[in-house]
């Protein structure tokens, strides 16, 4: 916040906001000594002030990059809410009010279905075939040779890729907006088509990479599950139920 007092950035600060910056709140973190902080709304107000100063030409060239990041923050706040973002960054979401969790889930979900884009690399399915002991390729009824992706791979992905996103809250919302439409379990779209291009897809990609890394160092499905339970202890005990869906 000291940066806000400098030339350019500090020029457009309202008196009330300047007073808030100069008088931080005192609090005691769980694992540290006394610290200083601010109400969550102060961050949004500061971001607005920076963007306004840039729009008025009050910033230097070096400070323009700060304005770009401030605008990115404002865009995120508009989607999910500043309090939910801070809770997620600090881990406070574990004891967050359900309404705040709902705001966070909304950041994952796109209002309208996106066009299909490949989100799972071929190596993901090749490695699944390896640990399951199945062939990498299979033939369709027309004789075409394609990558082997049996139905239990979809259940695996549901359990180990989608369910860990906010401890099942995102998966629950995806099930709601993209339900099964027949007894075969067919859905109108892939789950990832309902994820936001920025936040949701990036979280998905990160989880896919986490799972792919664990698969790559596993010789069997059982070994993968043991490694997964160590990497994601909060998920332990919930995966088998999901695989039975």
Q: Which two tokens stand for residue 42?
A: 């102060």
Question: Among residues 131, 197, 132, 190, which one has the least CA distance to residue 161?
Answer: 190
25, β-bridge pairs: 37
Strand 35-37 and strand 25-27: pairing? antiparallel
pLDDT for the residue 136 = 94
Q: Is residue 225 classed as helix, strand or coil in its secondary structure? A: helix
Closest CA to 200 of 109, 118, 115: 109
Q: Two tokens at 61?
A: 């060239």
Helix (H, G, I), strand (E, B) or coil at 139: strand
Interatomic CA distance for residues 235 and 3, integer angstroms = 41
pLDDT number for residue 95: 55
Residue 115: per-residue pLDDT: 84
Tell me the pLDDT tens digit for each residue of 122-152.
999 999 999 999 999 999 888 999 999 999 9
Extents of the domains making up the chain? 2-80, 122-243
pLDDT given for residue 34 in this prediction: 72
Nearest to 22 by CA among 41, 45, 38, 44: 38
Backbone angles phi, psi at 134, to 5 degrees: -110, 165
What residues in the chain have per-residue pLDDT under 50? Answer: 1, 240-241, 244-245
Residue closest to 133 by CA, chosen among 241, 221, 228, 209: 221
Per-residue pLDDT at 244? 41
Helix, strand or coil, per DSSP, at residue 145? strand
Which pLDDT score, from 0 to 100, does residue 240 have?
46
pLDDT at 245: 41
> What's the pTM value of the predicted model, to 2 decimals?
0.59
- Closest C-alpha among 95, 80, 13 to residue 47: 13
Q: What stretches of the chain show up as alpha helix (H) in DSSP? A: 15-22, 40-55, 61-80, 82-90, 98-108, 122-132, 151-157, 169-177, 199-216, 221-231, 239-243
């Amino acid at each position: 916040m000291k940066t806000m007092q400098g030339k350019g950035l500090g020029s457009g600060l309202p008196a009330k906001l300047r007073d808030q910056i100069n008088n931080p709140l005192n609090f005691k973190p769980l694992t540290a000594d006394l610290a200083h902080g601010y109400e969550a709304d102060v961050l949004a107000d500061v971001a607005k002030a920076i963007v306004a100063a840039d729009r008025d030409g009050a910033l230097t060239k070096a400070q323009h990059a700060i304005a770009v990041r401030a605008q990115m923050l404002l865009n995120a706040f508009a989607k999910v809410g500043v309090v939910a973002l801070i809770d997620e960054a600090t881990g406070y979401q574990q004891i967050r009010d359900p309404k705040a969790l709902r705001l966070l889930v909304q950041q994952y979900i796109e209002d309208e279905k996106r066009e299909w884009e490949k989100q799972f690399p071929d190596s993901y399915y090749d490695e699944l075939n390896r640990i399951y002991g199945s062939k990498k390729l299979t033939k369709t009824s027309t004789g075409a040779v394609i990558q082997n992706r049996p139905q239990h791979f979809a259940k695996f992905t549901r359990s180990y890729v989608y369910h860990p996103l906010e401890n099942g809250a995102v998966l629950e919302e995806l099930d709601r907006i993209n339900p099964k439409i027949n007894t075969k379990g067919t859905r109108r779209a892939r789950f990832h088509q309902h994820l936001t291009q920025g936040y949701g897809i990036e979280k998905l990609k990160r989880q896919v990479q986490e799972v792919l890394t664990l698969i790559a160092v596993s010789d069997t499905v059982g070994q993968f599950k043991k490694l997964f339970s160590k990497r994601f202890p909060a998920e332990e005990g919930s995966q088998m139920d999901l695989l039975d869906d």
